[in-house]
């Protein structure tokens, strides 16, 4: 009877592990498009966001249920009073879990990817924690072992368990850090892109204004100067973005780092293009000021010449009248 109980518990435990593994893989695949939808054009669609929330809730319930079932099955295994079978069952699982943790991908370059990785890490940690009672029970029964090989096996189990917990904690901290930094990066990038777009529009509006008077040109130059002051002030955000991007590349792999570089290069190219257009607008506005100022000066000289000519004609006429009168 005890042998039968042990075999049933082991078989059921293997099945529960498979459910957890398959569930984690399925959820990872489902969350990729779900997270993309949340941050895309449908982010304000209540139906979509509700469905994603339902999916998250259903998966969390599945993980909780399988974890509880796992604990029940492992307790039954220990109740069958065969520590050796229990150790033979849990050791291969720990070896595989440790190998999987050591092979985990580094944080992605997209916030959606990191969110999926965080969800997977959470599921893996729940799955690991579902074996905690079994490990504690084995630890407590360690003194009852007589065979040296069994003692060594138990020590290996406990060492691998502790290592898996350390790896999970490190993984959680890494992904949490990556999430926070990537979120900051995306917020900075969105703010800078919005600023650049608005600034480009101001430069275009300035170029469209007819520069027919010196006052009009000086008014546009004042606007361009105000824009340049804003750009110089905003340049600290661009520097911060580049520094944060370089820091984040240290957290990820070379392929993902290239994606970060592409985002940074795009924003820096837009920034430099904005400065070039601003410089060009200021140059032509200053040139227009010089030309209009010269034109005004020439017009004033011409007007003065005409007035002087008229005065000269008037004076000549008066002289002729006086001469004639005297004769």
How much is the pLDDT for 29?
A: 55
Average pLDDT of 141-151? Answer: 85
Q: How confident is the model at residue 41 (pLDDT cuts 50, 70, 90)?
A: very low
Which own/partner contact pairs does 16-22 have at CB distance under 8 Å and 24+ positions apart?
A: 16/66, 16/69, 16/70, 16/73, 17/70, 17/93, 17/127, 19/62, 19/66, 20/63, 20/66, 20/67, 20/70, 20/123, 20/127, 20/130, 21/127
Cβ within 8 Å of residue 115, ≥6 positions away: 31, 35, 179
Asked if residue 107 has pLDDT above 90, the reply is: yes
Cβ within 8 Å of residue 134, ≥6 positions away: 71, 74, 75, 77, 78, 86, 90
Mean pLDDT of the chain: 79
Taking a C-beta distance cutoff of 8 angstroms, is the pair 256, 109 a contact? Answer: yes
Q: Report the predicted TM-score, pTM, of the whole model to 2 decimal places.
A: 0.68
Residue 297 buriedness (CB in 10 A; 0-12 / 13-18 / 19+): exposed
How much is the pLDDT for 214?
A: 77
Calculate what percentage of the chain has a pLDDT beyond 90: 43
Sign of the Cα pseudo-torsion (141, 142, 143, 145, in order): positive
Residue 161 buriedness (CB in 10 A; 0-12 / 13-18 / 19+): buried
Residue with more model confidence, 30 or 153:
153
Residue with more model confidence, 35 or 138:
138
Query: Cα(159)–Cα(156) distance, rounded to whole angstroms?
Result: 5
DSSP letter, residue 104: P
Model pLDDT for residues 299-325, shown as the tens digit of each residue: 777 777 677 777 665 555 554 544 455
How much is the pLDDT for 86?
A: 85
Average pLDDT of 203-220? Answer: 81
Model pLDDT for residues 229-279, shown as the tens digit of each residue: 999 999 999 999 999 999 999 999 999 999 999 999 999 999 999 999 999
| Overall size of the chain counted in residues | 327
Average pLDDT of 181-208? Answer: 93
Asked if residue 196 has pLDDT above 60, the reply is: yes
Residue whose tokens read 């410089």: 279
Q: How far is CA 8 from CA 14, 15, 38, 70, in A?
A: 10, 11, 43, 13
Calculate what percentage of the chain has a pLDDT beyond 70: 67
Asked if residue 4 has pLDDT above 50, the reply is: no
Query: Cα(254)–Cα(116) distance, rounded to whole angstroms?
Result: 20
Alpha-carbon torsion, ordered 263, 266, 268, 273, to 10 deg: -170
Nearest Cα to 154, choosing from 169, 172, 135? 135
Average pLDDT of 68-75? Answer: 60
Asked if residue 43 has pLDDT above 70, the reply is: no
Average pLDDT of 68-83? Answer: 60
Cβ within 8 Å of residue 74, ≥6 positions away: 9, 13, 86, 90, 131, 133, 134
Q: How confident is the model at residue 30 (pLDDT cuts 50, 70, 90)?
A: low
Model pLDDT for residues 51-65, shown as the tens digit of each residue: 666 666 676 666 666
How much is the pLDDT for 145?
A: 82
């Amino acid at each position: 009877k005890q042998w039968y109980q042990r075999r049933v518990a082991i078989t059921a435990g293997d099945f529960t592990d498979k459910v957890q593994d398959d569930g984690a893989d399925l959820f990872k695949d489902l969350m990729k498009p779900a997270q993309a939808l949340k941050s895309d054009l449908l982010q304000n669609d209540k139906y979509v966001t509700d469905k994603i929330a339902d999916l998250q809730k259903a998966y969390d319930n599945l993980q909780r249920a399988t974890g509880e079932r796992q604990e029940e099955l492992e307790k039954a295994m220990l109740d069958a009073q065969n520590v050796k079978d229990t150790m033979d069952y849990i050791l291969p699982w720990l070896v595989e879990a440790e190998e999987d943790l050591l092979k985990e991908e580094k944080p992605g370059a997209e916030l959606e990817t990191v969110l999926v990785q965080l969800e997977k890490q959470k599921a893996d940690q729940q799955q690991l924690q579902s074996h905690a009672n079994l490990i504690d029970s084995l630890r407590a029964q360690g003194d009852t072992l007589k065979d040296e090989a069994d003692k060594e096996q138990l020590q290996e189990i406990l060492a691998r368990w502790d290592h898996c917990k350390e790896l999970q904690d490190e993984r959680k901290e890494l992904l949490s850090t990556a999430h926070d930094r990537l979120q900051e990066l995306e917020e900075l990038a969105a703010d800078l892109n919005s600023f650049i777009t608005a600034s480009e529009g101001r430069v275009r509006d300035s170029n469209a204004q007819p520069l027919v008077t010196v006052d009009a040109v000086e008014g546009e130059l004042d606007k361009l100067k105000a824009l340049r002051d804003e750009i110089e002030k905003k340049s600290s955000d661009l520097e911060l973005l580049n520094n944060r991007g370089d820091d984040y590349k240290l957290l990820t792999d070379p392929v993902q780092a290239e994606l970060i570089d592409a985002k940074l290069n795009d924003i820096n190219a837009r920034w430099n293009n904005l400065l070039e257009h601003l410089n060009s607008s200021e140059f032509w506005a200053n040139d227009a000021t010089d030309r209009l100022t010269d034109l005004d000066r020439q017009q004033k000289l011409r007007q003065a010449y005409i007035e002087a000519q008229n005065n000269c004609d008037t004076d000549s006429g008066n002289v002729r009248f006086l001469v004639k009168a005297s004769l």
